[in-house]
Amino acid sequence: MDHSPIEDLQRVLVSEKQILKRITELGKEIDAFYHGEEVAVIAIINGAIVFVADLIRQIRLPVKLDCIRVSSYRDSTSPQGRPDIIDRIRLDLKGVHVLLIDDILDTGNTLSEVVKILKTLQPASLRTCVLLDKSTQRTVDFEADFVGFNIPDEFVVGYGLDFAERYRHLPCIGVLRPELQNPPEWS
């Protein structure tokens, strides 16, 4: 093998160790918040896959799991308008405590739109959790209830976050080298 994907990172922003430590804390925060009530965890895939897989194993509450598929970035590094809901959830959320999880909160478009849709399903409560928050980038008025890390406005990959579906498997979160963002052969 001549080239490892980890070498495509300019620098590591959050290490694997830091992520796992913070997720353990988040699990405790979520347990304390819901006081033993059952929670329906809704993961926005693909981005939240890795985060949710680790987070739910730190939650001691009864949990139901489902996924929703949303598209907004379409293989570029800048947001392209409103997200499309591609695959809907199958769980009945009426009267249920829902915890919606995404990898990163950036402009806020994705989560605010998905929240609007889930509210029409009449959950008992609806909270949101993200691993990363780029709070300087918000274009809509939206904050998550549980946040792993606040990060600066840089394009990051790893631990579920992708560029054109690549790098999701990296165990840490890092800044992708600028020359690898939107290379001509991928457009």
Tell me which residues are annotated as active site: 106
Q: What's the min distance (Å) between Cβ of 78 and ligand IMP? A: 9
133 binds, among ligand IMP, Mg ion, none (CB under 5 to 8 A by kind): none
Give the Cα separation of 96 and 125 in Å (integer).
Answer: 7
Q: What's the min distance (Å) between Cβ of 74 and Mg ion? A: 9
Nearest to 151 by CA among 171, 173, 166, 167: 173
Among 27, 47, 83, 148, binds Mg ion (CB under 5 A): 47
With respect to ligand IMP, which residue has the nearer C-beta, 58 or 72?
72
**Rule CB under 5 A: which of 64-83 touch Mg ion?**
73
Q: What is the SS3 assignment for 140?
A: coil
Q: In the complex, which residues of this chain contact ligand IMP (CB under 6 A)?
A: 47, 72-73, 79, 102-110, 155-157, 161
With respect to Mg ion, which residue has the nearer C-beta, 33 or 73?
73
Beta strands at 9-14 and 173-176: parallel, antiparallel or unpaired: antiparallel
Nearest residue (beta carbon) to Mg ion: 47
Asked whether the beta carbons of 42 and 101 are under 8 A apart, the reply is yes
Q: Give how far Cα 81 sits from Cα of 71, 112, 113, 118, Å.
A: 10, 13, 11, 19
Q: What's the min distance (Å) between Cβ of 63 and Mg ion? A: 24
